[in-house]
Amino acid sequence: MIKLLIVDDSALMRRQLMTLFQAEGDFEIHQARNGDEAVRENREFQPNVVTLDINMPEMDGLTALSLIMAERPVAVVMVSSLTNEGALATFEALNLGAVDYVAKPGGTISLSLDRITAQLVAKVRGAARARPRGRGFNAAGVVRRMRDERRKAVQESSAPKQVVTATDGLLVIGASTGGPRALEIVLSGLPERFPWPVLVAQHMPAAFTRAFAERLNQCCALEVVEAGSALAVEPGKVYIGRGGADTLLATRSGRLTVFPAPENSQYLWHPSVELLGQSVLAHYDPKRTTAVLLTGMGHDGSDAFTEIKKRGGHTIAESEDSAVVYGMPAELVRKGGASMILAAEKIAPQLSAWAGR
């Protein structure tokens, strides 16, 4: 049985969620109406997973989350609105230790839940297998340390900035559950003069990816943008695949171009890491490609990234020690597709070494 704590200030939402998970047959469920009750229930009920609303009276979800992760770390799935404010709060929750999130659509509660039922159940089940990060893991501290080290390296170097072309190399990164935090660690560790374009497929809804790109742009030396339309690929720039679409690479008018395409129904998660990897294989030299597969459920991207390695490229699988969910990187390792297995904080230095930076 999976012990689940449902936290929401709406009695109707709690009842609907209760009915939804009771129908699954293998959940033991408790409820909480606000953050105070959530903290107490986490201590007394000791759930495996918590679904946590953000906007609640008495104690909001972010405050409750910080107390929960300090006292008894548990896998938390945030339930947040599809707004820019909701997206920013969700990313803050991920930094505080939440392992995943579900975007709550607008409209009546029953119809909203009908649209996200399969996703919600899958994410809660996945969270039950996740490794929650409590007080012992400080992602923000890792990011700050990397920024300081990068700033020191830039100050100590007097070499002029080298002009490179997009054909010198290409970095492709795939991530799912736990990915936003892992991506922040990896991308913030890349130096200002990192010479390759970076293409990122992070499973995420459409309303969140622009805010995510803007957040990353604030903490990274490289420019980070959402690939919301066809964009010519430039060296030293990070392209975040737009949610609600698949992100592909192609050659247009002799230039590498990244662009969004309608979601391919043959793939469960989007933007699809596998489809991005396949497009890279079709339009770029695998020997000059480096692919990184970060934390996430399932196997998305493992086939394409294994093929990149077979054709002479470099690949990295995030290690089990740092991955929130050791699913996608584990599949890459199992298939023999990982050149190296590294913790999230060690990936950027290795990428810089391969890129000659």
Known catalytic residues? Answer: 176, 203, 300
* Among 221, 192, 232, 225, CA closest to 211: 225
Q: Give the closest residue to 189 by CA, choosing from 220, 234, 156.
A: 220
How would you label 176-200 residue by residue, b for 16+ Cβ within 10 Å and e otherwise? bbbbbbbbbbbbbbbbbbbbbbbbb
3-state secondary structure of 115: helix
Query: Residue 293 is encoded by which pair of tokens?
Result: 């597969």
Residues 116, 315: contact at Cβ < 8 Å?
Answer: no
Q: Is the peptide bond before 260 cis (omega within 30 degrees of 0)?
A: no
Q: Which of 283, 277, 279 is nearest to 304 (CA)?
A: 277
What does the longest C-alpha to C-alpha distance in the chain come to? Answer: 64
Is the Cβ–Cβ distance between 272 and 298 less than 8 Å?
A: no
Among 186, 208, 190, CA closest to 86? 208
DSSP 8-class letter at 263: P
Instruction: Name the token pair of 9.
Output: 């200030």
Task: Taking the CA atoms of 112, 130, 7 and 206 in sequence, report the sign of the dihedral they define.
Answer: negative
